[in-house]
Each structure stands twice: as structure tokens, then as C-alpha cells.
């Protein structure tokens, strides 16, 4: 039975993802045709969020928070080298008008993330996953990072923990956040780096009818897919976007975007915003 109090829910939250903050540099594509300031684009998104009325209850950052490795991609970067980018991200997020929840993406470094944004001093490289509640809704944040690989994977321990979490909150409307997309988009080069055990995740979620929505990042585009009562949505990046039609790698610099999710009772509606020099365009 659906949670009766959830029918009275009335709030919104924002999902922004793939911020790719790089302290001391810009995103330069291999051809050298252009470069992109990911710090400036995130500032644009935060400024737009600050104009929303009513104010969002919280913001979820969907992974690839920082990307120091993209500054010099031919080597492995240490946690210490990642720290300055997480510090910069932390400073930028102070301007948001609401609490933030964060996910790990394939470009992130868990150790540096925990040291700076976790404020724990931990050196653990274990997956970072958790859940939280708001107005009788339950939210689950997963960690799909597969170190050293662009695609993702959820390990057995995390899937077991997810099942236990969903058992505990059975009957409570639930949204799941994960960085990598669990279903193919039909774009060969992007679908070569998905959540590799995405169907395993969806089989699990289908046994919990209160789980109706999965929100992802990673693909730098706005997509919506529905199957068997579950809706999977992806959100465009706050910086570089990927082509929604090209079967081979193709990217372009902006415009930055984010997704606004409005919850009224048991009904969700979403809007995607893209930012331009002349203002904000709602899609």
C-alpha cells in the first residue's frame, strides 16, 4: 500500500551532473578545436538554480564531480592531485540555496572525495552509497564506479545492501540515483560504457513496485526511457554535451543544463533547463 502521507508531498529538487571541475585548467578535447571552462559553466547553473521559485528542497550531483584526470589523461592521478578540484567544487557549492547530495562517477576519486567533501579524513576507496528521506519519499544514491574503466558496475555487496534498504522502506515511494545508465540509448559509442550489470539492478528494482524512477548522469544528454513500470531519466551535463544521434564520438561545448524534478503527491514532473548567454531556455 502506498504511503498515504506521500500523497501530500509537495516539493522540488534539482539534479545536476557531470560537473567535471578541474582546478587549474579547462577541458580540452584531443583535436584541440576548443576548450571549455567547467568552473564557469557550473557557476552559471548555480546562478540559475538560485532564481528558482519555490526554492528546491535539495540538489543531487550525479557523479563525475571533478575530473583532474582529463587535464592529462595519459597517467593515473593520485588522490592528493584530485584534492584541489574537490576543494574548488566545495567552494562553488556554497552558493547553492539548499543541501546537496553527491554521487561518485567514473572520473571521480573516492579517497580525495571522502577527505574533502566527506570531511572524514578517511582513505577508504570503498564504494560510497547511502539513502535519505524527504517528505515521506525515500531516495537511494548508488556508486557505480568501476575504477580505471569508463563503464560502471554495482558490486554484490552494494546490491545486497540496496535490497536490505528497499526492504526496510517497502511501501514508501522511492527514487534511485546512479551515475551510469542501466539501459542502452541506441548510441554505440555511449552504450559501450554503460552500467554493465544494469539489467541486474532493474530486475531487483522491479520487485519493489514503490521504486518507479531512476535518475542518471554520465551520458551528458537528456533522455527518458520507460519499461515495466520504471522510468529511467538522464540529465545533461553542466558543461560539455554529447551528441544524441551520433554513433561515433561527438561532443560540443555546452550549453550547460540541469533537471528540475517537481513532486506533488505521487506524481513527478521534470523540466530540463539549458543555459545560454541570453538567458535560460526551458525544454
Q: Evaluate whether 55 touches 84 at the Cβ level (below 8 Å).
A: no
What is the model's pLDDT at position 278? 53
Q: What is the mean pLDDT of residues 229-255?
A: 93
Burial of 282: CB neighbours in 10 Å, binned 0-12, 13-18, 19+: exposed
**pLDDT tens digits, residue range 58-70?**
999 999 999 988 8
Residue 2 has pLDDT above 70, yes or no: no
What is the model's pLDDT at position 72? 79
**pLDDT tens digits, residue range 143-193?**
999 998 999 999 999 999 999 999 999 999 999 999 999 999 999 999 999
Instruction: Give the separation between CA 42 and CA 238, rounded to whole angstroms.
Output: 6
Residue 279 has pLDDT above 70, yes or no: no
Set of cell numbers at residue 193: 560504457
What is the model's pLDDT at position 236? 97
What is the model's pLDDT at position 13? 98
- Nearest CA to 236 out of 20, 6, 7, 8 is that of 20
Cis peptide upstream of residue 136 (ω within 30 degrees of 0): no
Mean pLDDT over the full length of the chain: 92
The Cβ of residue 254 has, within 10 Å, a number of other Cβ atoms equal to: 20
User: What Å distances lie between residue 103 and 23, 29, 95, 238, 247, CA to CA?
Assistant: 19, 25, 19, 15, 28
**pLDDT tens digits, residue range 94-128?**
999 999 999 999 999 999 999 999 866 677 899 99
Q: What is the dihedral of CA 193, 139, 40, 47, to 10 degrees?
A: 150
Residue positions counted in the chain = 283
3-state class (DSSP) for residue 206: helix
Q: What is the mean pLDDT of residues 228-235?
A: 95
What is the model's pLDDT at position 121? 64
What is the model's pLDDT at position 58? 98
- Nearest CA to 154 out of 130, 138, 178 is that of 178
Instruction: Give the separation between CA 238 and CA 107, rounded to whole angstroms.
Output: 15
Q: Evaluate whether 247 touches 189 at the Cβ level (below 8 Å).
A: yes
What is the model's pLDDT at position 76? 82
What is the model's pLDDT at position 281? 56
3-state helix, strand, coil in the chain (%, to 5): 25, 30, 45
Residue 1 has pLDDT above 60, yes or no: no
For the domain made up of 4-282, give the CATH fold.
Answer: Purple Acid Phosphatase; chain A, domain 2 (3.60.21)
**pLDDT tens digits, residue range 124-142?**
899 999 999 999 999 999 9
Share of the chain above pLDDT 90, in %: 81
Residue with cell 545492501: 161
CA 145 and chain centroid, separation: 12
Task: List the domain boundaries for the chain.
Answer: 4-282
Amino acid at each position: 500500500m502506498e504511503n498515504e502521507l506521500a500523497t501530500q508531498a509537495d516539493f522540488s529538487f534539482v539534479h545536476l551532473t557531470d560537473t567535471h571541475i578541474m582546478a587549474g585548467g579547462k577541458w580540452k578535447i584531443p583535436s584541440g578545436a576548443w576548450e571549455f571552462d567547467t568552473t564557469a559553466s557550473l557557476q552559471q547553473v548555480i546562478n540559475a538554480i538560485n532564481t528558482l521559485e519555490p526554492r528546491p528542497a535539495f540538489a543531487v550531483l550525479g557523479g563525475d564531480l571533478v575530473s583532474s584526470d582529463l587535464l592529462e589523461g595519459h597517467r593515473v592521478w593520485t588522490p592528493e592531485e584530485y584534492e584541489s578540484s574537490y576543494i574548488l567544487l566545495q567552494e562553488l557549492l556554497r552558493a547553492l540555496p539548499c543541501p546537496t547530495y553527491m554521487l561518485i562517477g567514473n572520473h571521480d576519486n573516492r579517497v580525495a572525495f571522502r577527505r574533502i567533501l566527506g570531511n572524514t579524513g578517511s582513505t577508504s576507496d570503498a564504494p560510497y552509497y547511502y539513502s535519505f528521506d524527504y517528505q515521506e519519499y525515500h531516495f537511494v544514491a548508488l556508486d557505480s564506479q568501476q575504477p580505471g574503466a569508463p563503464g560502471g558496475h554495482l558490486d554484490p555487496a552494494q546490491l545486497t545492501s540496496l535490497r536490505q534498504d528497499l526492504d526496510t522502506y517497502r511501501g514508501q515511494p522511492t527514487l534511485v540515483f546512479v551515475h551510469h545508465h542501466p539501459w542502452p540509448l541506441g548510441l554505440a559509442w555511449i552504450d559501450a560504457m554503460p552500467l554493465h550489470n544494469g539489467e541486474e539492478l532493474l530486475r531487483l528494482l522491479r520487485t519493489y513496485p514503490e521504486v518507479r524512477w531512476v535518475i542518471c548522469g554520465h551520458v551528458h544528454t537528456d533522455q527518458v526511457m520507460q519499461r515495466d513500470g520504471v522510468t529511467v531519466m538522464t540529465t545533461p551535463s553542466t558543461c560539455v554535451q554529447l551528441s544524441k544521434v551520433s554513433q561515433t564520438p561527438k561532443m560540443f561545448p555546452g550549453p550547460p543544463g540541469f533537471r528540475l524534478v517537481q513532486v506533488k503527491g505521487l506524481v513527478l514532473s521534470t523540466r530540463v533547463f539549458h543555459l545560454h548567454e541570453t538567458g535560460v531556455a526551458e525544454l
